[in-house]
Amino acid sequence: MSKHVIEDAKRCLQCKTPRCQKGCPANTQIREFIHLLLHSKIEEAGKMLYENNPLSLVCSYVCPQENQCEGHCVLGAKGSPVQISAIEKYISDYYLNIYHPKPSTRENGKVAIIGSGPAGITIATILSRHHYDVTIFEGNDQIGGVMRYGIPEFRLPKVVLDRMMDVLVKSGVRIRPNTAIGTNLNVDDLFRDGYRSVFIGTGVWRPSRLNIQGESLGNVHYAIEYLRNPGVYRLGKRLAVIGVGNVAMDVARTAFRHGCEEVWIIGNLEEEDITARSVELEFAKIDGAKLMLKKSTVAFVDGGVMLADSLIKTDENGRRRAEPMKGTEQLLPVDSSIIAVGQGPRAVIVSSTSGIEVAKSGLVAVDELGRTTRKGVFAAGDVVTGAKTVVGAMQISKQVAEAMHRYMESGDWPA
C-alpha cells in the first residue's frame, strides 16, 4: 500500500492551476498535501487535510472521486489519474493516529447538536475548536449517522468512525447516545436548559414508498432499514432490489455477503438513467447482481414481485418517466424484495417544536447560512438538501458552524 501511494504521489505534476482542487467540493489543497508528503512532512500534510475537512479519512473511502478530484486530474485525459483518494487515505489515517486535540475550555456556552452524521460531526468539531460546550444528541447507540448505519462495512470500516468518536471525546464534546430529540426531550427543553444554539442534522431516515399492492407483506423491506442491521434479516436465497441508485447497489452487495445467492436489481428506465456511480454498479455486477431494466414494479406477492414492461415518456421539462404497460405483467419469483427508491426526513423534531418551517418535501427550510425560521436553530446536511454526498454535507456544515459562532458572539438574527 505505502509503495503504491509513494509511486502515485510522484506522478503528480504539481500543476500551477490544479484542476483536481477545483473538482473537490471541499476545495482540498491536493497539490500541497502531496508535496508535503513527498518532502517527509506527513504530519503537516495530515493537519492541513484535517483542519480543512474533519471527515477527510471518511471521504477518502466514500467520495465519488471519479467525478471530483481524480476526475479532474490532467493525467486522466490520456491515461490514469493520480489516485488522490489512496494518498489522502494514507495521510489521514496516519494523522489520526498521532493527533491529540486541544480540549475545549467550554467557556463560550452550551451548544446542542442533534444527530451525529457528517453534518453533526463537522459542526461539533468546529465549535469545540471555538471553545463551546458541545453536546451531541444521537438517537442510535453509536455516532456516525448514515456513515455508520447506511454505508456497508466493506465500503467504510466502522473502526474509522470509532476513531472519530475518540477524537470528539478528547476534544471535550459530550455525547448522549440513544437520545432522540422530539420524543422525551424537545428543542424547547434544550433552550430551557441553557443551550445557546441548536443544530439539527438528523439526516433522512424515512424510506420512500412505492405505494403499491403488497408493500406491507412480510417478504418486503426498505433499504435504509435493511442496511442499518442486515444481520437480523432472513431474506432467503433469491432477492429483488427495486431501484438503481447507490443505495440499491449497497443493498445488493450486502445481501450477497449475508447468504443471498441470486440478486436482481430492477429499474424502470434505461441504463443511461442509472443514478448509481459506475464503479458501484460494476462492483455489484462483479459480486453477481443481475440488472433488469425497463421493468416497472406493479405489486408484491407472497411468491415474489410482479413486473411489467415500462413505457418511457419524457415530459416538457425533459424528465423521463416510466409507466407500466398493461397486459405485460409477469412474476419474478424471489424470496424477498427490498425497496431502494430514496428516503426523506422524519418529522418528529419539527412536529414537537414550534417555529421551524419545512418545505413541501418535508425538508427543513433554511437560508444560505443554515438558519431556520426559529431563532437560534440551525440545520444542514441531508435533512435540508435530501440525500447527498458526505463531502457535500461537510462543506456546507463548515459554513453553518461559522454562522452559529457569529450568532452566539453577536446575538444577531434576521427579522
CB 347 within 8 A of CB 360: no
Q: Is the dihedral of CA 6, 12, 17, 22 positive or negative?
A: negative
Average pLDDT over residues 293-317: 94
Query: What is the rounded CA–CA span in Å between residue 61 and residue 57?
Result: 7
Asked if 322 and 269 touch (Cβ cutoff 8 Å), the reply is: yes
**227/256 same-domain check:** yes
Residue 246: give the domain boundaries.
207-342
Predicted confidence band of residue 360 (pLDDT cuts 50, 70, 90): confident
pLDDT exceeds 80 at position 313: yes
Is residue 51 domain-shared with residue 152, that is, in the same domain? no
Are 293 and 243 part of one and the same domain?
yes
- Domains contained in the chain, number: 3
Confirm whether 53 is domain-assigned: yes
The least confident of 25-39, 140-154, 236-250, 306-320 is 306-320
Mean per-residue pLDDT, 255-273: 96
- C-alpha to C-alpha distance for 205 and 343, rounded to whole angstroms: 6
Last residue of a domain, one of 342, 361, 394: 342
What CATH number is associated with residue 217? 3.50.50.60
- Is 80 exceeded by the pLDDT of residue 371? yes
Residue 105 domain flag = no
Whether residue 103 lies inside any domain: the answer is: no
Q: Are 274 and 218 found together in one domain?
A: yes
Q: Are 131 and 157 members of one domain? A: yes
Per-residue confidence band for 361, with pLDDT thresholds at 50, 70 and 90: confident
| Structural domain includes residue 240 | yes
**Do 119 and 226 sit in the same domain of this protein?**
no
- Summarize the confidence of residues 312-320 as an average pLDDT: 86
pLDDT score of 413 = 85
Three cell numbers written together for 345:
426526513
Q: Work out the mean pLDDT of the chain and round it to a whole number.
A: 94
Q: How far apart are CA 165 and CA 143, in angstroms?
A: 7
The domain that holds 55 is classified in CATH as: 1.10.1060.10
Per residue in 65-81, pLDDT (tens digit) is: 999 999 999 999 999 99
Query: Using CA atoms, how far apart are residues 359 and 379, in angstroms rounded to an integer?
Result: 13
Cα–Cα separations (whole angstroms), residue 386 to 146, 177, 355 = 12, 24, 21
Q: Judge whether 198 lies within some domain.
A: yes
Question: Among 33, 66, 98, where does a domain finish?
Answer: 98
Determine the average pLDDT of the residues in 343-351.
Answer: 72
Average pLDDT over residues 325-340: 97
Residue 104 lies in a domain: no
* Paired residues of 265 in beta bridges: 241, 291
Question: Where residue 388 falls among pLDDT bands split at 50, 70, 90?
Answer: confident
Q: For residues 329 and 360, state if they share a domain.
A: no
250 & 308 share domain: yes
Q: Last residue of some domain: 342, 367, 398?
A: 342
The sign of the CA dihedral 369, 375, 380, 384 is negative
pLDDT tens-place string over residues 46-62: 999 999 999 999 999 99
Do 325 and 301 share a domain, yes or no?
A: yes
349 pLDDT exceeds 80? no
Beta partners for 367?
none
Q: pTM of the entire structure?
A: 0.93
Residue 83 has pLDDT above 90, yes or no: yes
Asked whether residue 252 falls in the same domain as residue 360, the answer is no
d(CA 195, CA 49): 31
Whether 71 and 125 map to the same domain: the answer is: no
